[in-house]
Each structure stands twice: as structure tokens, then as C-alpha cells.
């Protein structure tokens, strides 16, 4: 689990992918990889998610995870399909327990001190600040980071090219999640070049962040 979190921390970007089909998911990860980002969180917002994860995992060149995990059953489905990390919009003990049993890191959503404390009690030290922008943005992150010195954050929700640099600059941000590099009209038009350009720009911003945070602490 530590190795996966360290890989996420090296890339510092987690694209949030909604794929309506296996073909669409494959197209998206191809465009992301072309832009220099071999990471994808395939959300369980569509019925195609498990098959898309399986197809992407079989390639061997993409760090693929599953998002919008809200039940232990989804943990099993995602891991069986080949997901190497799991992301949840909130914290639920049963989901955390099942992820630990399956040996796959879970990054649960947390937007309050109580949620962070619950995650810590489950042995989780990397949480998803979600929804980041509508829940206070960077001021909220700074406030939550202060009393929890061992916690690292993956802010997600409302982050785009305009505020990416500010989030990356925070020393407790392991990575940033979002879908701004995947505009829906570009996906529908299969405009791989546009997606690759937006992804390349985000990757360049990570590289230019001279004070990049160290690798995230392991969960568990």
C-alpha cells in the first residue's frame, strides 16, 4: 500500500475519470498518458467502471484506481477488477475495514476534524479534502492541517488550472484530484490533443513546484 501512495505522491495529480464505456475510459487514459500522466481514478458513477478498470489495469502502464467507493461490495468489485487504490467521497468504517482486508489503500473524503479523527482511528493518514473549494478551500485545509501533523491531503472538488498552483504549494498536499484536464466536450469529441495539452500543462506545473510536498505517509 505504501508503494502505491508514494507513486501517487510522485505524480501529485489524480485525474477523476467518468467513463460511459470501456472504449471511452481507454481513450481518456491514452490521452492522459500522452500528456505525461499515467494515473487515473475511474469513478463508480457509471455501470462501465468495473470493466473500464479491468481493461486499463491489464495494460500495465497506468496506475488505475477506483473512485466514488461507498460500500464494502464496491471495494471488492473494484479490487477484483484491478484497482490499485480506492477513493471515497466520505469516511465509512466498513469501507475502510474492507479496503484494509483487501490490502489496497483507501483515500476517504474528510472535510471536518471529526472525519479526520475517524480516519486516523482506522489507520488512514492520507485523506481526500472533498469538496475542497465549496468547503473553505485552502483556508480550510490550513486550519485542518494544523492540529493533525501526520495527515496528508488530496484536495478534490472545484480545483482547476486557475487554483492548482496554490494547492500544490501547500506542503501537506500529497496530490490534487480533479477533472479540469478532461472537459466533457473534448471527451465526447474524442479530442485527444486537447486533453493531452491540458494534462501536459498540469504536469509541467507539478514539475515547476520547487517546494513540492514529500511522498504521502502510508495508510495503515
- Active-site residues: which are they? 41, 128
d(CA 11, CA 131): 21
Burial of 188 (0-12, 13-18, 19+ CB in 10 A): exposed
How would DSSP label each residue in 9-53? HHH-EEEEE--SSHHHHHHHHHHHHHTT--EEEEETTSTTHHHHH
Angle at 85 between CA 175 and CA 105, to 5 degrees: 90
Contact 157, 137 (CB under 8 A): no
Q: Which three cell numbers stand for residue 168?
A: 500544490
Taking Cα atoms as reference points, which of 184, 177, 183 lies closest to residue 159?
Answer: 177
Dihedral sign, Cα of residue 195, residue 198, residue 200, residue 206:
negative
Q: Which residue has the cell 472525519?
A: 115
Amino acid at each position: 500500500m505504501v508503494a502505491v501512495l508514494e507513486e501517487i505522491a510522485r505524480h501529485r495529480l489524480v485525474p477523476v475519470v467518468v467513463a460511459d464505456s470501456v472504449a471511452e475510459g481507454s481513450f481518456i487514459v491514452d490521452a492522459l498518458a500522452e500528456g505525461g500522466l499515467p494515473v487515473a481514478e475511474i469513478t463508480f458513477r457509471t455501470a462501465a467502471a468495473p470493466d473500464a478498470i479491468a481493461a486499463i489495469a491489464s495494460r500495465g502502464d497506468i496506475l488505475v484506481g477506483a473512485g466514488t467507493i461507498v460500500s464494502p461490495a464496491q471495494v471488492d468489485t473494484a479490487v477484483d477488477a484491478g484497482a490499485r487504490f480506492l477513493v471515497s467521497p466520505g469516511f465509512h468504517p466498513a469501507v475502510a475495514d474492507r479496503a484494509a482486508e483487501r490490502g489496497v489503500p483507501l483515500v476517504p473524503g474528510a472535510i471536518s476534524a471529526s472525519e479526520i479523527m475517524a480516519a486516523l482511528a482506522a489507520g488512514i493518514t492520507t485523506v481526500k479534502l472533498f469538496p475542497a473549494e465549496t468547503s473553505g478551500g485552502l483556508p480550510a485545509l490550513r486550519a485542518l492541517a494544523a492540529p493533525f501533523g501526520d495527515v496528508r491531503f488530496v484536495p478534490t472538488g472545484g480545483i482547476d488550472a486557475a487554483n492548482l498552483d496554490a494547492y500544490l504549494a501547500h506542503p501537506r498536499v500529497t496530490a490534487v484530484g480533479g477533472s479540469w484536464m478532461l472537459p466533457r466536450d473534448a471527451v465526447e469529441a474524442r479530442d485527444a490533443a486537447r486533453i493531452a495539452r491540458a494534462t501536459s500543462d498540469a504536469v509541467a506545473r507539478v514539475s515547476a513546484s520547487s517546494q513540492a510536498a514529500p511522498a504521502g505517509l502510508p495508510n495503515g
